[in-house]
Structures are given as structure tokens and as C-alpha cells.
Amino acid sequence: MKPTARMSAIIAGLVIFLGLPLVFYALGEAPRRSILKEAFSILTLLAFSLMIGQFFLARSNEALLSLFKPPQIQKVHKYIAYSAVAVILLHPVLIVLPRAFEGGVTPWGAFLTMITTLDSLGILLGIAGWILLLVLVVTAYFRTPLMKRFTQRYRGWRYFHGGLAVAVTSLGLWHAIELGRHTDIAISAFYVSLTLVGFALLARLYLRAHPNKPRMSPVSEGAAS
């Protein structure tokens, strides 16, 4: 039973977090541009949905914990952190980079204009989200020494990491809906629903948590990297 269930879980994950965004992209009305630009667009869309997917690759997702060992989930969570999050961190550059291969504004000129348009709510949200995401990445990388500084050790770290992730995702989602070339109503609704489910899982975990008695030993469990 378990291998089938595992396979189903993997396929469901791929369909929801990679397949559906591609379908929404294909059905979207944003005009197509060069292959390079469209590739960057798709990459960014997928990276964003994988980032939302991180909420489902954590110990908040009990269904998944019943199918896979926590270190397995943690590993995937970590790989996505390295790849998808890198794309999200780089996406402002990916937007301007193709200008190097055509006439018009230079990539650097475009980048400067973009990040100095501070009267735009979407840009402010994006910059705030980007900085928090960077904090999220750096703190996750140095989580072991960091954990010792929290009074509640692992639990404190978990609240910190989860809370930061919620903030980053909220800002990122709002930013994407506000400015995204491809974030039409359909894909926005999809991302919002997915995010809300992810937040709900996390909330359930936190609300249920027993303050003094973690069920398992902190370091080995959970996909909280």
C-alpha cells in the first residue's frame, strides 16, 4: 500500500505545484515574447509555486509525514530552498537580463529604474519580501548555532522560521498579484488558495502544539530547514 500512496503523493505534488502553474501560464493572455524571456517567466512562476509548496514539505503536513520519513522530506525541502528560492531571489535580474541581447534600455538601467520606483506598492512589497527572504535563507543556513539562542530552542526556531516564511510568502504573493506579468485572476486565485491551505496547516500545528513536550527529538525530525 505504502509505495502506491507514496507515488500518488509525489504525482499529486508535481501536478499541483508544477503542472497547474504551467496550465495557467499556457492559458494566460500575456503576450508571448522570446524563448529566453518566456523561459525566465516560467522558471519564476514554478519557483514561486514551489516556494509555497515548502509549507507542505514540513512537519505541518501530517499526511506526508505518515508516508515519508522526516529526513526525506527535509531533504526535498532543502533542495527546493536552494533552487527555487535562488530563482526567486534572482528574478529581478532575470527580468532585465534579456535586455542585454536587444536594443533599448540596458539591463542595469532597467534594474535601477525598477528598484527605485518606490512610489509603487508592488515594488515596495517586493523589496521587503526580498530582504525577508534573504534573512530566511541566511538564518536557515545557520540554524544550528541560531537555535541555541532561542529560549525554547527548536520550538522557538520553528516559530521564527515559520513566521518568517508566512511573512515572505504573504509579501511575495501580494507583490506578484500587484505586478506580475502572468498573475491574472486565475493564477492569483490558485496561488492564494494554495497559500491559505499552507498557512492553515502551519496554524493547526502551532495551535495544537503542546508547549513543553515535543513528540520527537528536534534535530532529527521535521522538514524545517
Partner 1 sequence: MTIKSINGCIGCEECVKSCPCDVIRIDPDSGKAVIAYPADCQICHLCRMYCPVDAIEMAPEKSIPVVVPWG
Partner 2 sequence: MTTQNHSAGPTRRAFLALSAATAGLASLGMEAWAENRVAIDVDAMSNSDLSTDVLVIGGGMAGLFAAVKAHDAGAATMIVSKGRLGSSGLTPFGKGFFVFDPETETGTIDDFVETVSRSALGTNNPVYTRQVAEHSLDRARELRDWGFFDQTLANRPFMRPIDERGIPLMERVVITHLIKEDGRIAGAAGFRLDAGETVTVRARSVILCTGAGGFKPNGFPVCDLTHDGTVMAYEIGAKVTGKEWNDGHSTRSVNPAACFDSWGDMFERVPATNGVDVHHDLGVDINYRAYVTGNPVEGGPGAPQPTEEIEGGPYVPQEFQHSGPPGGGGAPGKGGAPGKGGAPGGPPPGFSAGSNVGGASAGMAIHKSEGLVPMDARCASNIPGLYAAGDALGSHMAGGIYTQVGSSLAGSAVQGAIAGEAAAEYARSVDAPTIPEARIAGIRNEILAPLRREAGYGPAWVTQTLQGIMIPNFVLYIKKGSMMQAALAYIEELRDHHAPMLRAADMHELRLAHETRNMILSAEMKLRASLMRTESRCSHYRLDYPEPDDENWRAWINIYKGADGSMQLEKQPFGTWPA
Q: Which residues bind partner 2 (CB under 8 A)?
A: 29-30, 102-106, 109, 177, 180, 183-185, 188
Nearer to partner 2, 122 or 214 (CB): 122
Category of 104 on φ-ψ map: left (φ > 0), alpha (ψ -120 to 50) or beta:
left
Would you tell me how many other CB atoms lie within 10 Å of the CB of residue 2? 9
* Helix, strand, coil percent values for the chain (each to nearest 5): 75, 0, 25
Shortest Å distance, C-beta 188 to partner 1: 13
Nearer to partner 1, 81 or 123 (CB): 123
Q: Which of partner 2, partner 1, none has residue 177 at its interface (CB below 5 to 8 Å by kind)? A: partner 2
> Which residues fall within 8 angstroms of residue 13, CB to CB, at 6 or more apart?
53, 56
Q: Which of partner 1, partner 2, none has residue 185 at its interface (CB below 5 to 8 Å by kind)? A: partner 2
The C-alpha angle with vertex 46 and arms to 200 and 190, in degrees rounded to 5, equals 45
Shortest Å distance, C-beta 195 to partner 2: 15
Site map (CB under 8 A) of partner 1, residues 15-54, x = contact: ---------------xx-x---x-----------------
Shortest Å distance, C-beta 30 to partner 1: 5
In terms of C-beta density within 10 A (0-12 exposed, 13-18 middle, 19 or more buried), how is residue 219 classed? exposed
Check if the beta carbon of residue 198 is closer than 8 Å to that of residue 52. yes
Q: Which of partner 2, partner 1, none has residue 77 at its interface (CB below 5 to 8 Å by kind)? A: none
- SS3 of 219, please? coil
Q: Which residues in the 90-149 window bind partner 1 by CB under 8 A?
A: 95-96, 98-99, 103-105, 109-111, 113-114, 117, 119-123
Shortest Å distance, C-beta 26 to partner 2: 16
In terms of C-beta density within 10 A (0-12 exposed, 13-18 middle, 19 or more buried), how is residue 172 classed? buried
Which residues contribute to the site for partner 1 (CB under 8 A)? 30-31, 33, 37, 95-96, 98-99, 103-105, 109-111, 113-114, 117, 119-123, 179-182
